[in-house]
A and B are shown apart, each in its own frame.
Chain A
Amino acid sequence: MAIPGLHLTQIGSDNFLLEPTRSLNIRTQDTLIESIVARLQQAGASRLYYDLSEQPLIDPVYYGWLDALARTIQAINVKMVCIHMQPTAAFALSKFMHETPIFETALDISGWQKTGR
Protein backbone atom coordinates (compact mmCIF):
# COMPACT_ATOMS: atom_id res chain seq x y z
CA MET A 1 0.00 0.00 0.00
CA ALA A 2 1.35 3.43 -0.95
CA ILE A 3 2.23 5.86 1.81
CA PRO A 4 1.15 9.44 1.01
CA GLY A 5 4.02 11.90 0.42
CA LEU A 6 6.80 9.39 -0.11
CA HIS A 7 8.04 6.48 -2.17
CA LEU A 8 9.38 3.53 -0.23
CA THR A 9 11.24 1.10 -2.45
CA GLN A 10 12.92 -2.13 -1.52
CA ILE A 11 16.47 -2.32 -2.88
CA GLY A 12 18.32 -5.57 -2.41
CA SER A 13 17.19 -8.05 0.19
CA ASP A 14 16.93 -5.94 3.32
CA ASN A 15 17.54 -2.34 2.28
CA PHE A 16 14.87 0.28 1.61
CA LEU A 17 15.05 3.64 -0.11
CA LEU A 18 12.75 6.40 1.07
CA GLU A 19 12.21 9.25 -1.38
CA PRO A 20 10.02 12.01 0.00
CA THR A 21 7.84 13.86 -2.50
CA ARG A 22 6.70 17.46 -2.39
CA SER A 23 3.39 16.41 -0.91
CA LEU A 24 5.02 14.97 2.21
CA ASN A 25 3.20 16.36 5.22
CA ILE A 26 5.38 15.89 8.27
CA ARG A 27 2.67 17.26 10.54
CA THR A 28 1.12 13.81 10.29
CA GLN A 29 4.44 12.23 11.26
CA ASP A 30 2.94 9.72 13.74
CA THR A 31 0.78 8.12 11.05
CA LEU A 32 3.59 8.26 8.52
CA ILE A 33 6.11 6.67 10.87
CA GLU A 34 3.68 3.87 11.76
CA SER A 35 3.10 3.07 8.08
CA ILE A 36 6.85 3.10 7.32
CA VAL A 37 7.69 0.93 10.32
CA ALA A 38 4.97 -1.55 9.31
CA ARG A 39 6.44 -1.84 5.79
CA LEU A 40 10.01 -2.22 7.07
CA GLN A 41 9.02 -4.82 9.65
CA GLN A 42 6.99 -6.77 7.12
CA ALA A 43 9.99 -6.99 4.75
CA GLY A 44 12.55 -7.64 7.51
CA ALA A 45 14.55 -4.55 6.61
CA SER A 46 17.85 -3.72 8.27
CA ARG A 47 18.63 -0.36 6.66
CA LEU A 48 16.65 2.61 5.40
CA TYR A 49 18.25 5.09 3.03
CA TYR A 50 16.54 8.47 3.26
CA ASP A 51 17.08 10.50 0.09
CA LEU A 52 17.51 14.22 0.82
CA SER A 53 18.40 15.29 -2.72
CA GLU A 54 15.17 17.29 -3.09
CA GLN A 55 15.48 18.94 0.33
CA PRO A 56 17.42 22.21 -0.05
CA LEU A 57 16.92 23.22 3.58
CA ILE A 58 16.58 21.34 6.83
CA ASP A 59 14.97 23.38 9.60
CA PRO A 60 14.42 22.25 13.21
CA VAL A 61 10.93 20.94 12.30
CA TYR A 62 12.23 18.79 9.46
CA TYR A 63 15.16 17.67 11.61
CA GLY A 64 12.62 16.67 14.28
CA TRP A 65 10.88 14.47 11.71
CA LEU A 66 14.15 12.82 10.63
CA ASP A 67 15.15 12.31 14.25
CA ALA A 68 11.76 10.79 15.19
CA LEU A 69 11.82 8.45 12.20
CA ALA A 70 15.43 7.35 12.87
CA ARG A 71 14.72 6.72 16.58
CA THR A 72 11.57 4.75 15.86
CA ILE A 73 13.08 2.48 13.25
CA GLN A 74 16.11 1.98 15.47
CA ALA A 75 13.67 0.41 17.93
CA ILE A 76 12.94 -2.30 15.34
CA ASN A 77 16.65 -2.70 14.56
CA VAL A 78 16.69 -0.74 11.33
CA LYS A 79 19.47 1.77 10.74
CA MET A 80 18.68 5.04 8.93
CA VAL A 81 21.23 6.53 6.54
CA CYS A 82 20.55 9.98 5.07
CA ILE A 83 21.97 10.31 1.58
CA HIS A 84 22.40 13.15 -0.93
CA MET A 85 22.23 15.91 1.67
CA GLN A 86 22.50 19.23 -0.15
CA PRO A 87 25.26 21.75 0.85
CA THR A 88 22.62 24.31 1.85
CA ALA A 89 20.83 21.76 4.02
CA ALA A 90 24.07 20.61 5.68
CA PHE A 91 25.03 24.24 6.28
CA ALA A 92 21.67 25.07 7.86
CA LEU A 93 21.53 21.89 9.92
CA SER A 94 25.04 22.34 11.33
CA LYS A 95 24.00 25.82 12.53
CA PHE A 96 21.39 24.63 15.00
CA MET A 97 22.39 21.02 15.67
CA HIS A 98 24.03 20.55 19.06
CA GLU A 99 24.39 16.79 19.22
CA THR A 100 25.45 14.09 16.80
CA PRO A 101 22.36 13.00 14.85
CA ILE A 102 21.01 9.55 15.52
CA PHE A 103 21.01 8.76 11.81
CA GLU A 104 24.09 8.10 9.69
CA THR A 105 24.94 10.11 6.61
CA ALA A 106 26.51 9.17 3.29
CA LEU A 107 27.09 10.78 -0.09
CA ASP A 108 24.97 8.07 -1.70
CA ILE A 109 24.10 4.41 -1.31
CA SER A 110 27.32 3.16 -2.86
CA GLY A 111 29.35 5.67 -0.83
CA TRP A 112 27.96 4.27 2.37
CA GLN A 113 28.64 0.69 1.32
CA LYS A 114 32.20 1.53 0.24
CA THR A 115 33.19 2.99 3.60
CA GLY A 116 31.85 -0.15 5.23
CA ARG A 117 30.48 1.65 8.26
Chain B
Amino acid sequence: MAQQPKATDASAKLAELLKLQVGSLAETIEKEGQNIFGGSNNLLGTDEINDFCIEFLELLVALLQSKDPHDDASPQFHALEMYFNNLSKQILVRGGRVEDLVRYIQFMQRTLIDALGNDKRVTVDDARTMLLFLSGLFNELILAVFQAYLEEKERTVYAQEAELRETATPITEIWDGVLTLPIIGTLDSNRTVLVMEALLNRIAKEHASAVVIDLTGVKNIDSQVSHHLIQMVQAVQLMGSDAIITGIRPEIARALISLNIDLSNVTTRASLSDGLKEAFRRMGILVSKKTD
Protein backbone atom coordinates (compact mmCIF):
# COMPACT_ATOMS: atom_id res chain seq x y z
CA MET B 1 0.00 0.00 0.00
CA ALA B 2 2.96 2.30 0.76
CA GLN B 3 4.02 1.93 -2.87
CA GLN B 4 0.65 3.12 -4.17
CA PRO B 5 1.61 6.78 -4.92
CA LYS B 6 4.74 5.55 -6.69
CA ALA B 7 2.69 3.05 -8.72
CA THR B 8 0.11 5.72 -9.58
CA ASP B 9 2.91 8.01 -10.64
CA ALA B 10 4.36 5.28 -12.88
CA SER B 11 0.88 4.60 -14.30
CA ALA B 12 0.49 8.29 -15.15
CA LYS B 13 3.86 8.22 -16.93
CA LEU B 14 2.87 5.08 -18.80
CA ALA B 15 -0.43 6.70 -19.84
CA GLU B 16 1.49 9.74 -21.06
CA LEU B 17 3.87 7.51 -22.99
CA LEU B 18 1.03 5.60 -24.60
CA LYS B 19 -0.65 8.82 -25.68
CA LEU B 20 2.59 10.06 -27.21
CA GLN B 21 3.28 6.85 -29.08
CA VAL B 22 -0.31 5.87 -29.84
CA GLY B 23 0.17 6.08 -33.59
CA SER B 24 3.14 3.72 -33.80
CA LEU B 25 1.74 1.38 -31.14
CA ALA B 26 -1.59 1.10 -32.94
CA GLU B 27 0.17 0.47 -36.24
CA THR B 28 2.32 -2.37 -34.80
CA ILE B 29 -0.60 -4.03 -32.99
CA GLU B 30 -2.89 -3.69 -36.03
CA LYS B 31 -0.26 -5.28 -38.26
CA GLU B 32 0.02 -8.31 -36.00
CA GLY B 33 -3.78 -8.43 -35.78
CA GLN B 34 -3.92 -8.59 -39.57
CA ASN B 35 -1.41 -11.47 -39.59
CA ILE B 36 -3.33 -13.48 -37.01
CA PHE B 37 -6.98 -12.69 -37.69
CA GLY B 38 -7.13 -10.99 -41.07
CA GLY B 39 -6.39 -11.97 -44.64
CA SER B 40 -6.90 -15.63 -45.44
CA ASN B 41 -7.68 -16.40 -41.79
CA ASN B 42 -10.85 -14.38 -42.33
CA LEU B 43 -11.69 -14.03 -38.65
CA LEU B 44 -11.83 -10.24 -38.47
CA GLY B 45 -12.07 -7.54 -41.13
CA THR B 46 -9.45 -4.76 -41.43
CA ASP B 47 -11.81 -2.16 -39.98
CA GLU B 48 -12.69 -4.44 -37.09
CA ILE B 49 -9.00 -5.04 -36.28
CA ASN B 50 -8.26 -1.31 -36.39
CA ASP B 51 -11.27 -0.48 -34.23
CA PHE B 52 -10.38 -3.16 -31.70
CA CYS B 53 -6.82 -1.88 -31.50
CA ILE B 54 -7.82 1.75 -30.95
CA GLU B 55 -10.44 0.71 -28.40
CA PHE B 56 -7.87 -1.35 -26.51
CA LEU B 57 -5.43 1.54 -26.27
CA GLU B 58 -8.20 3.92 -25.19
CA LEU B 59 -9.39 1.54 -22.49
CA LEU B 60 -5.83 0.97 -21.29
CA VAL B 61 -5.20 4.71 -21.04
CA ALA B 62 -8.49 5.13 -19.18
CA LEU B 63 -7.41 2.46 -16.70
CA LEU B 64 -3.99 4.04 -16.22
CA GLN B 65 -5.61 7.42 -15.56
CA SER B 66 -8.15 6.00 -13.13
CA LYS B 67 -7.94 6.61 -9.38
CA ASP B 68 -6.28 3.26 -8.72
CA PRO B 69 -5.13 1.37 -11.86
CA HIS B 70 -4.40 -1.70 -9.69
CA ASP B 71 -7.97 -1.96 -8.49
CA ASP B 72 -9.43 -4.95 -10.38
CA ALA B 73 -12.93 -3.96 -9.25
CA SER B 74 -12.82 -0.54 -10.91
CA PRO B 75 -15.19 0.16 -13.84
CA GLN B 76 -12.18 0.88 -16.06
CA PHE B 77 -10.65 -2.53 -15.30
CA HIS B 78 -14.01 -4.21 -15.82
CA ALA B 79 -14.40 -2.44 -19.18
CA LEU B 80 -11.01 -3.73 -20.32
CA GLU B 81 -11.85 -7.24 -19.14
CA MET B 82 -15.19 -7.15 -20.98
CA TYR B 83 -13.46 -5.87 -24.08
CA PHE B 84 -11.23 -8.99 -24.18
CA ASN B 85 -14.12 -11.22 -23.21
CA ASN B 86 -16.16 -9.95 -26.17
CA LEU B 87 -13.20 -10.07 -28.55
CA SER B 88 -12.51 -13.71 -27.68
CA LYS B 89 -16.19 -14.68 -28.03
CA GLN B 90 -16.31 -13.03 -31.44
CA ILE B 91 -13.15 -14.81 -32.60
CA LEU B 92 -14.11 -18.20 -31.15
CA VAL B 93 -17.58 -18.07 -32.67
CA ARG B 94 -15.96 -17.45 -36.07
CA GLY B 95 -13.78 -20.54 -35.64
CA GLY B 96 -10.62 -18.90 -34.30
CA ARG B 97 -8.25 -20.59 -31.88
CA VAL B 98 -7.76 -19.48 -28.30
CA GLU B 99 -3.97 -19.97 -28.70
CA ASP B 100 -3.85 -17.31 -31.43
CA LEU B 101 -5.77 -14.89 -29.26
CA VAL B 102 -3.41 -15.46 -26.33
CA ARG B 103 -0.41 -14.93 -28.64
CA TYR B 104 -1.99 -11.69 -29.85
CA ILE B 105 -2.42 -10.48 -26.26
CA GLN B 106 1.16 -11.42 -25.45
CA PHE B 107 2.22 -9.50 -28.53
CA MET B 108 0.33 -6.44 -27.26
CA GLN B 109 2.15 -6.75 -23.95
CA ARG B 110 5.55 -7.06 -25.69
CA THR B 111 4.80 -4.03 -27.85
CA LEU B 112 4.03 -1.93 -24.79
CA ILE B 113 7.20 -3.12 -23.02
CA ASP B 114 9.26 -2.31 -26.13
CA ALA B 115 7.75 1.18 -26.15
CA LEU B 116 8.91 1.63 -22.53
CA GLY B 117 12.45 0.68 -23.53
CA ASN B 118 12.47 3.20 -26.36
CA ASP B 119 11.65 6.13 -24.09
CA LYS B 120 14.78 7.54 -22.48
CA ARG B 121 12.81 9.45 -19.81
CA VAL B 122 11.68 6.22 -18.15
CA THR B 123 13.92 5.45 -15.17
CA VAL B 124 14.85 1.89 -14.16
CA ASP B 125 12.61 2.20 -11.10
CA ASP B 126 9.64 3.38 -13.20
CA ALA B 127 10.28 0.64 -15.75
CA ARG B 128 10.23 -1.99 -12.99
CA THR B 129 6.93 -0.71 -11.60
CA MET B 130 5.40 -0.46 -15.08
CA LEU B 131 6.55 -3.98 -15.98
CA LEU B 132 5.03 -5.39 -12.82
CA PHE B 133 1.79 -3.55 -13.54
CA LEU B 134 1.63 -4.69 -17.17
CA SER B 135 2.48 -8.27 -16.26
CA GLY B 136 -0.33 -8.40 -13.64
CA LEU B 137 -2.79 -6.70 -15.96
CA PHE B 138 -2.13 -8.95 -18.96
CA ASN B 139 -2.30 -12.06 -16.80
CA GLU B 140 -5.79 -10.98 -15.74
CA LEU B 141 -6.75 -10.29 -19.36
CA ILE B 142 -5.54 -13.71 -20.49
CA LEU B 143 -7.66 -15.21 -17.71
CA ALA B 144 -10.65 -13.28 -19.03
CA VAL B 145 -10.02 -14.75 -22.48
CA PHE B 146 -9.82 -18.28 -21.09
CA GLN B 147 -13.00 -17.70 -19.15
CA ALA B 148 -14.79 -16.64 -22.35
CA TYR B 149 -13.28 -19.65 -24.12
CA LEU B 150 -14.58 -22.04 -21.46
CA GLU B 151 -18.03 -20.42 -21.51
CA GLU B 152 -18.16 -20.80 -25.28
CA LYS B 153 -17.01 -24.44 -25.06
CA GLU B 154 -19.60 -25.18 -22.38
CA ARG B 155 -22.29 -23.66 -24.56
CA THR B 156 -21.18 -25.83 -27.49
CA VAL B 157 -21.10 -28.99 -25.37
CA TYR B 158 -24.54 -28.17 -23.98
CA ALA B 159 -25.93 -27.64 -27.49
CA GLN B 160 -24.37 -30.91 -28.66
CA GLU B 161 -25.83 -32.75 -25.68
CA ALA B 162 -29.26 -31.33 -26.43
CA GLU B 163 -28.90 -32.44 -30.06
CA LEU B 164 -27.81 -35.90 -28.96
CA ARG B 165 -30.78 -36.14 -26.61
CA GLU B 166 -33.05 -35.16 -29.46
CA THR B 167 -31.63 -37.83 -31.78
CA ALA B 168 -31.52 -40.44 -29.02
CA THR B 169 -35.28 -40.16 -28.56
CA PRO B 170 -36.75 -40.22 -32.04
CA ILE B 171 -40.40 -39.98 -31.09
CA THR B 172 -42.52 -39.99 -34.24
CA GLU B 173 -46.22 -39.44 -34.69
CA ILE B 174 -46.86 -42.30 -37.08
CA TRP B 175 -50.60 -41.73 -37.19
CA ASP B 176 -52.92 -39.12 -35.75
CA GLY B 177 -52.62 -39.69 -32.02
CA VAL B 178 -50.20 -42.64 -32.29
CA LEU B 179 -46.59 -42.16 -31.25
CA THR B 180 -43.75 -44.61 -31.83
CA LEU B 181 -40.56 -44.67 -29.84
CA PRO B 182 -37.90 -47.06 -31.08
CA ILE B 183 -35.23 -47.48 -28.43
CA ILE B 184 -31.84 -48.43 -29.81
CA GLY B 185 -28.67 -49.29 -27.90
CA THR B 186 -28.15 -49.57 -24.20
CA LEU B 187 -30.73 -48.18 -21.85
CA ASP B 188 -29.26 -46.75 -18.70
CA SER B 189 -31.09 -44.92 -15.95
CA ASN B 190 -30.13 -41.44 -17.17
CA ARG B 191 -31.22 -42.16 -20.70
CA THR B 192 -34.47 -43.75 -19.56
CA VAL B 193 -35.34 -40.64 -17.57
CA LEU B 194 -34.57 -38.43 -20.60
CA VAL B 195 -36.66 -40.63 -22.90
CA MET B 196 -39.50 -40.63 -20.38
CA GLU B 197 -39.45 -36.85 -20.05
CA ALA B 198 -39.44 -36.35 -23.82
CA LEU B 199 -42.19 -38.91 -24.32
CA LEU B 200 -44.53 -37.46 -21.69
CA ASN B 201 -44.11 -33.95 -23.05
CA ARG B 202 -44.80 -35.23 -26.56
CA ILE B 203 -47.97 -37.01 -25.41
CA ALA B 204 -49.22 -33.75 -23.92
CA LYS B 205 -48.23 -31.79 -27.03
CA GLU B 206 -49.66 -34.17 -29.63
CA HIS B 207 -52.55 -35.31 -27.48
CA ALA B 208 -51.53 -38.88 -28.29
CA SER B 209 -53.90 -41.73 -27.46
CA ALA B 210 -51.37 -44.54 -27.90
CA VAL B 211 -47.62 -44.98 -27.64
CA VAL B 212 -45.76 -47.93 -29.12
CA ILE B 213 -42.38 -48.41 -27.44
CA ASP B 214 -40.21 -50.68 -29.58
CA LEU B 215 -37.35 -52.46 -27.81
CA THR B 216 -36.05 -54.40 -30.83
CA GLY B 217 -32.78 -52.50 -30.68
CA VAL B 218 -32.24 -52.93 -26.94
CA LYS B 219 -29.43 -55.39 -26.22
CA ASN B 220 -29.24 -55.36 -22.43
CA ILE B 221 -31.52 -54.51 -19.57
CA ASP B 222 -30.84 -54.49 -15.85
CA SER B 223 -33.06 -54.37 -12.80
CA GLN B 224 -32.98 -50.59 -12.43
CA VAL B 225 -33.68 -49.95 -16.10
CA SER B 226 -36.54 -52.43 -16.22
CA HIS B 227 -38.12 -50.62 -13.29
CA HIS B 228 -37.71 -47.34 -15.16
CA LEU B 229 -39.36 -48.93 -18.18
CA ILE B 230 -42.34 -49.99 -16.10
CA GLN B 231 -42.46 -46.50 -14.61
CA MET B 232 -42.48 -45.09 -18.13
CA VAL B 233 -45.43 -47.28 -19.04
CA GLN B 234 -47.24 -46.26 -15.84
CA ALA B 235 -46.63 -42.58 -16.49
CA VAL B 236 -47.94 -42.92 -20.06
CA GLN B 237 -51.06 -44.66 -18.74
CA LEU B 238 -51.51 -41.99 -16.05
CA MET B 239 -51.60 -39.35 -18.74
CA GLY B 240 -54.46 -41.25 -20.28
CA SER B 241 -52.63 -42.88 -23.19
CA ASP B 242 -52.19 -46.54 -23.97
CA ALA B 243 -48.65 -47.89 -23.83
CA ILE B 244 -47.70 -50.90 -25.94
CA ILE B 245 -44.26 -52.46 -25.69
CA THR B 246 -43.02 -54.34 -28.74
CA GLY B 247 -39.94 -56.19 -29.91
CA ILE B 248 -38.88 -57.70 -26.60
CA ARG B 249 -35.98 -60.02 -27.47
CA PRO B 250 -35.96 -63.48 -25.86
CA GLU B 251 -32.99 -62.59 -23.65
CA ILE B 252 -34.70 -59.36 -22.53
CA ALA B 253 -37.93 -61.27 -21.80
CA ARG B 254 -35.95 -63.80 -19.75
CA ALA B 255 -34.15 -61.00 -17.91
CA LEU B 256 -37.43 -59.25 -17.10
CA ILE B 257 -38.90 -62.44 -15.68
CA SER B 258 -35.82 -63.30 -13.67
CA LEU B 259 -35.89 -59.77 -12.25
CA ASN B 260 -39.50 -60.37 -11.11
CA ILE B 261 -40.83 -57.50 -13.19
CA ASP B 262 -44.61 -57.53 -13.25
CA LEU B 263 -45.77 -57.10 -16.84
CA SER B 264 -49.40 -57.96 -16.12
CA ASN B 265 -50.53 -54.35 -16.58
CA VAL B 266 -48.43 -53.82 -19.69
CA THR B 267 -49.63 -54.58 -23.19
CA THR B 268 -46.90 -56.31 -25.19
CA ARG B 269 -46.77 -57.37 -28.82
CA ALA B 270 -44.17 -59.29 -30.78
CA SER B 271 -43.26 -56.67 -33.35
CA LEU B 272 -43.66 -52.98 -34.03
CA SER B 273 -46.17 -53.83 -36.74
CA ASP B 274 -48.28 -55.84 -34.28
CA GLY B 275 -48.02 -52.99 -31.81
CA LEU B 276 -49.32 -50.53 -34.37
CA LYS B 277 -52.18 -52.86 -35.28
CA GLU B 278 -53.09 -53.07 -31.58
CA ALA B 279 -52.98 -49.28 -31.24
CA PHE B 280 -55.22 -48.90 -34.32
CA ARG B 281 -57.61 -51.53 -32.99
CA ARG B 282 -57.95 -49.69 -29.69
CA MET B 283 -58.59 -46.43 -31.48
CA GLY B 284 -61.15 -48.08 -33.75
CA ILE B 285 -59.05 -47.54 -36.87
CA LEU B 286 -59.24 -50.17 -39.59
CA VAL B 287 -56.45 -50.34 -42.17
CA SER B 288 -57.32 -52.59 -45.09
CA LYS B 289 -56.19 -53.30 -48.65
CA LYS B 290 -57.92 -51.35 -51.34
CA THR B 291 -60.21 -53.55 -53.37
CA ASP B 292 -60.59 -52.89 -57.12
The residue from B207, B235, B241 contacting A94, defined by CB atoms under 8 A apart: B235
- Residue contact B283 to A85, C-beta cutoff 8 Å: no
| 0/1 string, B218-241, CB within 8 A of A gives 1 | 000000000000011011111111
**CB-nearest residue of chain A to B203:** A87
| Chain B residues numbered 195-211 whose CB sits less than 8 Å from any CB in chain A | 196-197, 200-201, 203-204, 207-209
- Residue contact B238 to A90, C-beta cutoff 8 Å: yes
- Residue contact B196 to A91, C-beta cutoff 8 Å: yes
- Residue contact A93 to B209, C-beta cutoff 8 Å: no
- Residue contact B240 to A94, C-beta cutoff 8 Å: no
Q: How far is the CB of A56 from chain B (nearest CB, A)?
A: 12
By a CB distance below 8 angstroms, the chain A residues around B208 are: 107
Q: How large is the interface on A (under 10, 10 to 19, 20 to 34, 35 or more residues)?
A: 20 to 34
Cα distance A94–B209 when bound, in Å? 18
By a CB distance below 8 angstroms, the chain B residues around A83 are: 240
| 0/1 string, A77-117, CB within 8 A of B gives 1 | 00000110111111101110100110001111001101110
- Residue contact B240 to A107, C-beta cutoff 8 Å: yes
Decide: A107 near B201, CB < 8 A? Known: A90-B238, A91-B235, A101-B238.
no
- Residue contact A93 to B282, C-beta cutoff 8 Å: no
By a CB distance below 8 angstroms, the chain B residues around A85 are: 238-240
Decide: A111 near B209, CB < 8 A? Known: A87-B200, A87-B201, A87-B204.
yes
- Residue contact A114 to B238, C-beta cutoff 8 Å: no
Decide: A107 near B241, CB < 8 A? Known: A87-B204, A97-B234.
yes
Decide: A94 near B238, CB < 8 A? Known: A86-B204, A87-B203, A114-B209.
yes
Q: How far is the CB of A72 from chain B (nearest CB, A)?
A: 20
**CB-nearest residue of chain B to A101:** B238
Is B3 interfacial (CB 8 A cutoff)?
no
- Residue contact B200 to A90, C-beta cutoff 8 Å: yes
By a CB distance below 8 angstroms, the chain A residues around B282 are: 115
Cα distance A94–B237 when bound, in Å? 10
- Residue contact A93 to B204, C-beta cutoff 8 Å: no
- Residue contact A111 to B200, C-beta cutoff 8 Å: no
> Can you offer 5 A-B residue contacts whose CB atoms are under 8 A?
A90-B235, A93-B234, A107-B241, A115-B209, A116-B284
By Cβ-Cβ distance, the 5 closest A-B pairs, closest first, are A87-B200, A94-B235, A106-B240, A107-B240, A90-B235
The chain B residues found within 8 Å of chain A, CB to CB, are: 196-197, 200-201, 203-204, 207-209, 231-232, 234-242, 265, 282-284
